Structure 1
Amino acid sequence: MSAELLPPAPADLPSSHLYYREGGSDKVYQAWIEVQEAGYAVNFAFGRRGSALSTGTKTSSPVAYEAAVKIYEKIVGEKKAKGYTPEASGQAFAMTDKAGRISGRLPQLLNPINDSQALTYLESEDWFLEEKFDGRRLMAAVLAGQVEGSNRKGLVVSLPQEVADALVGAGDCVLDGELVGTKFWVFDVLSLGGSDLTTLPFSERAARRDSLTFTDTDSAQAVTSYRSPAEKTAAYAAIRNAGREGVVFKRASAPYKVGRPTAGGDQVKVKFYATCSAVVAKVNAQRSVALKLGDVNVGNVTVPVNFALPAVGEVVEVRYLYANRGGALYQAIYLGTRDDVDPGECGLDQIKYKAEGAEQNEEDEADSRGLSKADR
């Protein structure tokens, strides 16, 4: 063994904890060298932050210390080149040892409606309109200055530290909202000061929500609700024209109901573009992954350089223009991973299919804008 690179004591062997958070990704990667028999092993662990990590080794048998260091430095360097940092991507997280456990909190889920159906909701003052945000659905419970997040499955998850700090200003409460980057948009309050509010009509819950005080409005803020036909129509057009995801309509007189109704409901959503959750079937070359819905392959999507490449079997969210029956998603855009959706939920029933004869119109429109098929 080289005298220039003497191994340190076992307790001082190199190790790294790296983090990656961008878009829908929130991952951790650990690497370390440990003594193994007459040599050294380079081991690693990876997964979504707050969940159980998968483990592995880069050395199938013990190696010399110099070789272990080279392997270790190589994998750490590769992760840093992909955007992982030892500073949790510059963001501290409110971690919890309860991550992945059942919180006991489940959200109200919405059925979709289309543009033509939206007209009824726009014209009636019995319904509020709010923007639908393109983020991660989360609930947050604040109790005695401690904040606990949970996802749409009801499992406890970590929140960005700045969001947790901002929510403490609201006092003891249970909130429903959407995490977009490091900002939590609050669209409902289910409990306040220890009192259950779920049986109150939404109009009253919205008033309580709007009265909440957050310590930092850059990290937590109540959404804006519109009720008059004129306000709703203007907001609907503005949100759509801005290329935002969509809107939701909420019945003013309705209580909060956990789960999704079989049809209709007291809260419905209009999406201005189509998205679906798909399973990664294969990692291709050139930062591309193959997607499947159930057992059906639905094409590929390119993963932008500011996202970590998802692994085979992971669920990812994809925006697309339309799909042909039996064919691939058209103009697919990668949005990030989904830890709150199971692979079994990724079926063809999510898909917005292209009407017969409409595909050529899209081709003509793309041609008129000078787009080749590779650009679409």
Structure 2
Amino acid sequence: MDSTTLYFRQGPSDKVYQASIQPKDQGFMVHFAYGRRGTTLTTGCKTQVPVEYQVAKAIYDKLIREKTAKGYAPGPDTAKPKPPDAPSQHSGIHCQLLNSITDQQLDQFLFSDEYWMQEKLDGRRLLLRKDGDEITGINRLGFPTAVPETIRRDAAKYPRNFLLDGEAVGDTFHAFDLLTIGSEDMRNKCFSVRYLRMRDMLNAFYHQHIREVKCLSTPGMAGWFHQFKREGKEGVVFKHKDAPYTPGRPNSGGSQLKYKFYETASFIVTKVNDQRSVALSLFESGTLHPAGNVTIPPNHDIPEVGAVVDCRYLYAFKESGSIYQPVFLGPRGDIRAEECTISQLKYKAEVPVSV
């Protein structure tokens, strides 16, 4: 089938764009992947259902024309990640998603003997699975996703099958949980057992691009927390040491909870403005509401209307719903549009009026 890898390098930008036509059922799908070279690529599909080859080829050719017009050029394909399977083919794996805690709840976790703490990485959620000679990436929605070649090579060195949960940051996988090893399913075991087995596993072979996310416990957990905050880290995760791995997100609370040092949210792009800026919106009761604008840095492609993107911000204004001091973090192909709701926002604290 048709497949192309294009590269763009100018100033700080070093990006890759892949497009391919793949057969599905009685028709064809047009897949794409893009991002910085050597990182976990954002993947997607230009066709929602299989179409005739002539239709797929026209969409594919249009993609290539648009990219080459922007300065992308063909290059060697040797270092490109293996193209992901069609997004409609769910892996059957569901990751555990976390609720946040407030400042008022923080101390009960920081000084607890029952909870262990790990740094929360500013990356992309990735489950890494080795099954024989096949290395597969799985995103937070459970769909196959591309794996950087550096991570793939390291994962292949381990002699047994495994399923790790973690975050991909650039060309490095940061593992924070072990779900399976060999034929053993670890998900029903307590977190302390899973973590120690993962540590033993990672100590058993050389892997420059797979790293363990260290666990911290009392005493001393509060000191590490404040150090992470001073260093500008994204946040921390508290995990009950006796809890099993529970797929999905609970309605409230949970055995694993996150605390962020700054606010982030996922938004839907509703307009491409002038001067490398896009308009952002969020759902409330099924209706889209404007949430402000954000500038797209030169090392990122301008996202299309309808894309889901992550932004960091200082706070949101209650009256307008707009975010203050937004910073574009990147596209999020692993987050559904319906998850982009106003309930994500943290608002500026109101100052009491003296009477």
- TM score, norm. by length of structure 1: 0.76
Could you tell me whether the CA contact under 8 Å between 2:178 and 2:198 is conserved in 1?
yes
Instruction: From 218, 224, 249, give the equivalent of 1:228.
Output: 218
Report whether the alignment pairs 1:78 with 2:36. Answer: no
Q: Structure 2: 5+ residue runs without aligned partners? A: 21-29, 35-42, 48-55
Report the count of equivalent residues: 314
TM-superposed deviation, 1:16: 5.6
Moved over 6 A (4+): 20-23, 57-60
Which residue does 2:349 correspond to in 1? 355
**Counterpart pick for 1:219 among 189, 203, 209:** 209
Quick one: distance in 2 between partners of 1:191 and 1:75? 40
Change (3 A) 1:254 1:26: farther
Contact 2:85–2:144 at 8 Å: present in 1 too? no
Is residue 108 from structure 1 mapped to residue 96 from structure 2 by the alignment? Answer: yes
Give, in whole Å, the separation in 1 of the partners of 2:311 and 2:16.
Answer: 17
SS of 2:215 mapped into structure 1: coil
1:74-123 superposed Cα distances (whole Å, 9 cap, x missing partner): 8515232xxx76347x9521334455510010101111002331211111
Equivalent position of 2:33 in the other structure: 48
Pick closer, same or farther for the CA change 1:238–1:46 going to 2, 3 Å.
same
1:120 is matched with which residue?
Answer: 108
Aligned match of 1:255 in 244, 259, 265?
A: 244
Query: Using the alignment, how far apart are the partners of 1:192 and 1:185 within structure 2?
Result: 17
Do the aligned residues in 1 keep the contact of 2:44 with 2:333 (CA within 8 Å)? no
> How far apart are residue 263 of structure 1 and its match?
1.2
The residue matched to 2:192 in structure 1 has which SS?
helix
* 2:175 paired with 1:189: no
User: Does the 8 Å contact 1:27/1:46 carry over to 2?
Assistant: no
Greater Cα radius of gyration, structure 1 or 2: 1
**What is the aligned-residue RMSD (CA, Å)?**
2.9
Q: Quick one: structure 1 residues 110 and 184, their matched pair in 2 at CA, closer, same or farther if it must change by over 3 Å?
A: same
Deviation at 1:52, TM superposition (A): 2.8
Task: Tell me, in whole angstroms, the C-alpha distance in 2 between the residues paired with 1:272 and 1:26.
Answer: 31
Residue equivalent to 2:255: 266
2:340 is equivalent to residue 343 of structure 1: no
- Which residue is 1:370 aligned to? none
Q: Secondary structure at the match of 1:79?
A: coil
**Structure-to-structure mapping, 1:200-219, within 5 angstroms:** 200-213=189-202, 217-219=207-209
CA deviations 1:294-343 (Å, max 9, x no partner) are 21111110000000110000000000000011241100000000011111
- In 1, the alpha carbon distance for the partners of 2:337 and 2:150 equals 31
Whether 1:198 and 2:187 are equivalent positions in the alignment is yes
Kept after mapping to 2: 8 A contact 1:19/1:29: no
Unaligned runs of 5+ in 1: 1-14, 31-44, 61-71, 359-376
With over 3 angstroms needed to count, the CA separation of the structure-2 counterparts of 1:164 and 1:100, relative to structure 1, is: farther
Alignment partner of 1:299 is 2:292: yes
> Among the aligned pairs, what percent are the same residue?
35
Contact 2:6 2:16 in 1 (8 A): no
Matching residue of 1:321: 314
CA distance in 1, matches of 2:137, 2:262: 28
Q: Distance in 1 between matches of 2:171 and 2:258?
A: 24
When residues 335 and 145 of structure 1 are mapped into structure 2, their CA distance, relative to the original with a 3 A threshold, is: same
Do 1:143 and 1:173's aligned partners in 2 also have CA atoms closer than 8 Å?
Answer: yes
Structure 1 pair 345–252 and aligned structure 2 pair: CA distance change class (3 A): same
The residue type equivalent to 2:349 in the other structure is A
Question: Residue 146 in 1 paired to residue 140 in 2?
Answer: no
Q: Give the Cα–Cα distance (whole angstroms) in 1 for the partners of residues 66 and 99 of structure 2.
A: 48
Shift of 1:168: 2.2
- Structure 2 counterpart of 1:277, which letter? S
Is the helix fraction higher in 1 or 2? 1
